[in-house]
Structure 1
C-alpha cells in the first residue's frame, strides 16, 4: 500500500487520478450543472427557485463580509445592476427572457467567477446577536407592509396603489418589456403598438431597469417562457413585485443603518435604533412611495441607502468594494437617475479617500461602467421636456417637521462626543449634507422658476429621509445601555410617527397607520371595475373601453387601468386626460366630439342610473352632489343627461361607433 505523494495518491494499491486531471472534470461538471438545474426547474415548473439559488450562490462567494445578512444584502446590491447590464444581451439574443437561458447564464457566470477568483462556496459564519436584532426589525416592518396586501383580493391590492395613477404607466412599461422580450428602447417598432405616438418615445426611453428586472422575475415566478397573456395576471404579479421592492428598501435601510452603527454596537441600543428606523419607514413618508405606485423610486432609494453605508464603512475586500460601488452607480442610473448626482458625489468621496487614481484597476472599472451609467440618462434626455424638473405629479407632500427632526437627530448622533473623528461617521454625515444640498438646490430652482416647490422636490426629500435614516444608525451612541431607558427614549418618536403625519405633522393618523388600519384603501372599486372590464374583453375587443358605471374618480381609474391591462393604452391616453375629474367640466357636446374623433369604436360600460358627471355650462358648473342626500355617483348637473342617457343618445346617433355594455360591478 502506497502513501500520498505530491502529485497523486493510491488507494488499496490503485493509483488515484492526478489532482490536475480531477479539477477540469469538476469544473466541467459545474458548468454542466449550471444549465441542467434551470432545465429541470423549468420542466417541473419550479423556476422560482432559480433566483434564490443565484442569490445564495453569489452570497457564498462573498469574502468582504461575514454574516448572513451582510452577504445576502451585498449580493442583492450587485445582482440588480448586473441584471440591468445583462438585459442588454438578453434583449437581443435568440432566447430573450426564457428562464432556462437567463438562469443558465446567471449560474454559469457564478461558476466562472468562482473559477477566476479561486474562491469556493462557503457558508457565512453563524448568526450573531446583531443579526437577530436586524431580523426582528426587518420581520416586523415586512409584516406591516404585507398585511394590507395579503388580506385583500387583487382589486383591493391594486386599489391601494392606483390613486397615484403613475402605476398604470409603470405597469405598461413592465408589460411592454415582457411582450417584446427585452428593453423597450431596443425594440422601438414593436413598442409602438402599446402607447400613443405622442408618448411612445418618452415611455420606451424611461429608466427601466426596475421594470426589466420585474419582467425577468415574472417569467421565473410563473415558470413561463412568454409574458402573461392575461393582463390581470400580469397586474397581480406587478403589484406583488412592487411590495417586494418596498421590502427590499426596508432591508437595505435597516442593514445600512446597522453598518453605520458599527460592529460593536450594544444589542439593546441597536434594537431600539433599528425599531425606530423600521417604524419611520412604514409610518413615515417612505411608505407613500409604495402607495403612490413608484416601484423604480423604491429600488433607487434602496440602492442609494446601500451606497451610503458602503461609502461610510467599505467592505473588507477592496475588489468587492470597487465592484459594488461601480455596480451601484449603474443600478441607480437604470432605476432612478434623479439620485445619480448624489450617488456620483458619494462614490467620489470614497474614491478620493482611497486615492483610486493611483490604481489601474479603478480606471478599468470606470471605463467599463461609463457607457451603462450614461445610457439611461441620455436616452431619457431625448424624450424629456426642458422643464422636466418643474412638472407636476402625484407624490404626497413629505412631512416637513419629521424630516427636520430626522436630519438634526441623525447629524447629532453621528457627531456626539467627538463621533466625527471616526471616518465612517464623517462620510455618513457628508451623505446627509450632500442629499440635503441637492434637495435645497432643486427647491431654489423651482421657487425661482415657478414660485413653489413641486413633485421632484418631494422625491429629493425622500432621498434625504432615506440617507438620514441610514445616518440614524449612529443613534446607538446616544441611547442608554439599559433596555427600559433606551426604549423610553425612542418610544415617543415612534408614537409621534404613528399618530400624526401631513405636511407639517398636522394630520391625524400617519400614512402607514391609515394603510394598516384600512382607513386608506385607495380605490378598490375602480380597480375591480378595471378587472371586470379586462376579464370581459381581455384584448379590448378592438374598441376603447370606457367606464361610466359609477362616480367620476372610480370611472377614471377603471378606464385607465383597464386600458393598460387590455394592452389598449394607445387609444386610451386621450380618454385618460378627458375623464380626469380635475380637468375642465364636461358637456354632452365634448363627449360627442370625443366619440367622433376616436379612431376606434367606443364601448361604454354603464350600471348606476344615478351616475352622472356632465354639466350644461362648464364655466359655471352646477353639481348635484352639492345637494344633501345625493349619492357620490350623481356628480353632474341634474339638468344634464345622466351617464346612461348620454351613452344611449350616442349609441342611437352613432350605431357603428358606440356600443353599450350593461355590466354589474363586482361589489354589487
Structure 2
C-alpha cells in the first residue's frame, strides 16, 4: 500500500491501482468561475445589492484575528473601505469602470485569491455572546434614533435636514461627477469641466474623494445599474441615504471600539450602562451635528479614526491581520478626510513602537506598499488648496465646550484610576486622547496667532477629540458599580444632560439631537422641495441657468444651488451661488442685470410669491421691509425697490432672448 499526499489531500493506493489526483485545482477553478458568474446572475436579476452582503460575509469568514460576529463584520468593513479606495484607481481606468458585474467579480476573485494564498476557508463566527447582545442593543437603539428623522420624511424633508450647511451641494457634485465619468475625478480632469466652473474644477476634483467614490460604487449596486442615474433627484436620494449610512457606520465603529477598550472582563451590566451613555452622546451630543451639516467624508474619517483607536488599544489576535488593518486604515483616513491623518499616523506609530515593527521585514514591505496611497490625496489636495487653508471659515456648528471638557475628564479618570495606566490598552487609549487633544490645540494656536479666533477646522479637530474620547470612555465599564441599579444611576444624569441641552457652553435647550428627533430642527425642507421641483421640470437645466426667486432669500439660495447640482449645471451656478448668499453684500437691480448679461447661458427665473423681494436701492444703507412687524419673511428687500416678480419681468422685457420666467407653484402650497 502507498500513501500519496497531493495538494493537502492523502489517498491510499494498492499495487496497480492508479493514484487519484487532487481535486483542489478543479475546486479553485470553479471558485474563480463562480466569483464572476454570481455577479452576472445578480445583475440579470437586478439584485446587485446582494453582492455587498456576500463580499462582507466572505471577508468576515476569512478573519482569524477575531471570533465574534460583530468583531468579524466590523474588521471586514474597516478593511474593505480602504481597499475599495485603492482598487478605485484601477476601476477608474479599466473599460468597465463601475459596472457592478466587473466590480463584484473583481472583489469576489480577490476573496478567492486570499483564501488560496492563506489556506483559509470561510469559517462561521463564534457563538453569540452576552457582550454581542449589549452591543446590538446599543447600536440598534441609537441607529433607530438616527433613522427616524429620515424615514418619516419625503426626499425634500430628508434633504432639507442636510442642506443648511450647504457643503452638501459640493459633496453631491463630486459624488455625481464620479458616477458620471466612471472613476475618480482627479483621473478625469477634462470630464470634470462639464460639471464645475473652470476656477473651481481643480479644487473639486482634487478634494479627498474616497467617500464619494465609495458612494458612487454603492449607488451602482443599489440601483443595479452600470451607469449613474440620469435623474438628479434619484442620485440625490441615494446620496442622502448613504450619508445617513455613514453616520450609522460611525455609530458602529465607536461602540465597537469602546467595547474593545472595555475589555473582555467587563460585565454585561456595566458594559450596557457604558454603551448606553456613549450611544446617547453620539446622537444627542456633537457627532450628530456632523451628519446634519452634510459632511459625509468627515463621518467616514471619524469612523476610521475610532476603529484605529480601538485596534491600537487592543490589537487583533492575528499579527498579520492587525498589520494589514492598521495599514489599510491609514489609507482610508487619507482618502476620506486627511485632516485626521496626523492623528492616525501617531496612533499607528504607537502600535508600531509597542510591537517593535522595525525588526520585521514584512512591516517595511507594508510601509512601501501603502506609502503612495497614503500620500496621494494630501499631495493632490495641497496642489489645489490655498496656503491659508486652516484659517478658512466654514459652516461647522460650534462644539459643546463644557460637555467636551467633562467627557475628557471622565475618560482620563476611568483609564488612569488605580494604576490603570499599567494596562497597555488603557495606556494607548489615553495616548489617543492626548494625541487628538494636542492636534486640536495646535490648530487652535495657529488660528489664534493668524486670525485671532478659532473657526471651522478647529471645530473639526474637536470632533475628532470627542470621538476618540468616546472610544476611551469604554474604560468606564471597569469603574461602574457591578449591580444594575447603581450602575445606571451613575450614567443616567449624564444621559439626561446630553438630551436636554447642548450649544457652545451647554446652554442651548434642547440638544440638537432631540431637536432633530422631535422635528424641531428641520433645516430647509422648502428650499429642498423647490430644488426638486425645478429639477423635475428641467432635468438637465434646459440649457439655462435656473434661479429661484419664489420665496425668502435663504430658501431661494438653497433651491438655486441644489437644483444646479442635480441638473448637472453647477458650472454656470457658482457666480449665482455667491451672489444669492443672504450674508453677502445687499443686491441691487443693477447688479442683477449685470449678472444676467454676463451669464454664458440664458437665465430662467422661477417666481411665485408677489411679496417676495430681496433687492435694495442703496447697498451701503439697505432698508428692509421684513424689519417691520407683521411683514412676510419673503418681503426681505427694500419696499421702494422692485419685487422679485417685477425685477424678473423687467429683465425679461429688456432682454427677451436672455431671460425666461416660470410662474411655478411650490409643492407645499
Match of 1:518 in 2: 519
Counterpart of 2:85?
84
Deviation string, structure 1 residues 421-444 (Cα, Å, up to 9, x no partner)? 101100000000000000001000
Paired residue for 1:549? 550
Match of 2:494 in 1: 493
Q: Which runs of structure 2 are paired with 1:94-173 in the superposition (5 Å)?
A: 94-173=95-174
CA–CA distance in 1 between the matches of 2:118 and 2:3? 28
Q: Identify if the C-alpha distance between structure 1 residues 15 and 93 changes in structure 2 by more than 3 Å, giving closer, same or farther.
A: farther
- Is 1:631–2:635 an aligned residue pair? no
Q: Given the superposition, is the C-alpha separation of residues 64 and 624 from structure 1 closer, same or farther in structure 2, using an over 3 Å criterion?
A: same
In structure 1, what is the equivalent of residue 480 of structure 2?
Answer: 479
The match for 2:587 is 586
Is the contact between residue 416 and residue 477 of structure 1 (CA under 8 Å) also seen in structure 2?
no
For residue 575 of structure 1, what is the aligned residue in structure 2? Answer: 576
Q: CA deviation at 1:611?
A: 0.4
Is 1:539 aligned to residue 551 of structure 2? no
1:254/1:17 CA distance change after superposition, 3 Å: farther
| In 1, Cα distance between equivalents of 2:17 and 2:445 | 79
Question: Hey, what's the Cα distance between the residues in 1 that align with 2:99 and 2:280?
Answer: 39
Contact 1:249 1:302 in 2 (8 A): yes
**Which position in structure 1 is the counterpart of 2:616?**
615
Name the structure 1 match of 2:311: 310
Show the 5 A alignment for 1:455-474: 455-474=456-475
| Structure 2 segments unaligned to the other structure (5+ residues) | none
2:431 pairs with 1:433: no
Q: Are positions 1:41 and 2:42 aligned together?
A: yes
* TM-aligned CA deviation for residue 468 of structure 1: 0.2
- TM-score, with structure 1 as normaliser: 0.98
Instruction: Give 1:230-629 correspondences, 5 Å limit.
Output: 230-629=231-630
Listed as ranges, the matches of 1:648-663 within 5 Å are 648-663=649-664
CA distance, structure 2, for counterparts of residue 373 and residue 411 of structure 1 = 31
1:15 positional shift: 7.8
What SS does the corresponding residue of 1:522 show, helix, strand or coil? coil
Q: Distance in 2 between matches of 1:4 and 1:365?
A: 41
**In structure 2, distance between residues paired with 1:609 and 1:513:** 36
Distance in 1 (alpha carbons) for counterparts of 2:13 and 2:281: 64
Q: In structure 2, do the counterparts of structure 1 residues 16 and 471 end up closer, same or farther at CA, with 3 Å as the change threshold?
A: farther
Say whether the 8 Å CA contact 1:232–1:565 is kept in structure 2: yes
Inter-partner Cα distance in structure 2 for 1:645 and 1:343: 56
Q: Does 1:8 align with 2:11?
A: yes
Change (3 A) 1:130 1:594: same
Q: Shift of the alpha carbon at 1:264?
A: 1.2
CA distance in 2, matches of 1:658, 1:5: 86
Q: How many Å separate the matches in 2 of 1:377 and 1:630?
A: 50
The 3-state SS of whatever aligns with 1:280 is: helix
TM-superposed CA distance for 1:16, in Å, is 9.6
Hey, what's the Cα distance between the residues in 1 that align with 2:53 and 2:18?
A: 37
* Cα distance between partner residues in 2 of 1:537 and 1:82: 38
Contact 1:231 1:538 in 2 (8 A): yes
Contact 1:173 1:203 (8 Å CA) reproduced: yes
Cα distance 1:566–1:414, how it changes in 2: closer, same or farther (>3 A)?
Answer: same
CA RMSD in angstroms, aligned pairs only: 1.4
- Residue 615 to residue 28, structure 1, CA distance change in 2 (3 Å): same
- C-alpha displacement at 1:627, in angstroms? 1.0
Change (3 A) 1:167 1:17: farther
- Structure 1: distance between partners of 2:13 and 2:577: 78
Distance 1:197 1:334, change over 3 A: same
1:71 is aligned to 72
CA distance in 2, matches of 1:10, 1:541: 78
Distance in 2, matches of 1:529 and 1:15, equals 81
SS of match in other structure, 1:604: strand
Deviations 1:333-370 (A, max 9, x none): 00000000000011011101111110000000000000
Kindly state the Cα deviation for residue 417 of structure 1 after the two structures are TM-superposed: 1.1
Q: Deviations over 1:521-550 (max 9, x none)?
A: 000000000000000000000100000000
User: CA separation in 2, counterparts of 1:526 and 1:444?
Assistant: 38
C-alpha displacement of 1:478: 1.3
1:418: how far off? 1.0
Q: Which residue of 1 aligns with 2:190?
A: 189
1:16 and 1:665 map into 2 onto residues whose CA distance is 82
Please give the secondary structure, in 1, of the residue aligned with 2:75: helix
| Residues in 1 aligned to 2:13 and 2:509: alpha-carbon distance in whole angstroms | 79
Counterpart CA distance in 1 for 2:470 and 2:34 is 42
Change (3 A) 1:16 1:120: farther
* 1:175-214 map, 5 Å: 175-214=176-215
- Take 2:357 and 2:29, find their aligned partners in 1: how far apart are those partners? 37
2:223 corresponding residue in structure 1: 222
Following the alignment from structure 2 to structure 1, what is the Cα–Cα distance between the partners of residues 146 and 656? 49
Deviation string 1:94-120 (CA, Å, 9 cap, x unpaired) is 111000000000000000000000000
| Cα separation, 1, equivalents of 2:284 and 2:629 | 36
| Distance in 2 (alpha carbons) for counterparts of 1:10 and 1:265 | 55
Q: CA deviation at 1:4?
A: 9.2
Q: TM-score, normalised by structure 2?
A: 0.98
1:466-524 Cα offsets, whole Å, 9 max, x none, are: 00000000001111000011000000000000000000000111110000000000000
How far residue 8 of structure 1 moved from its aligned partner, in angstroms, is 2.5
1:50 match? 51
Q: Is the 8 A contact 1:9 1:16 kept in 2?
A: no
1:416, distance to aligned residue in structure 2 (A) = 1.1
Contact 1:9 1:15 in 2 (8 A): no
* Native 8 Å contact 1:545 1:559 kept in 2: yes
What does the per-residue CA deviation read over 1:289-331, in whole Å, with 9 as the maximum and x for residues that have no partner?
A: 0000000000000000000011111000000000001000000
State the 1:21 CA deviation.
2.4
Alpha-carbon shift at residue 10 of structure 1 (Å)? 8.6
The answer to whether the Cα contact below 8 Å between 1:38 and 1:47 also exists between their aligned partners in 2 is yes
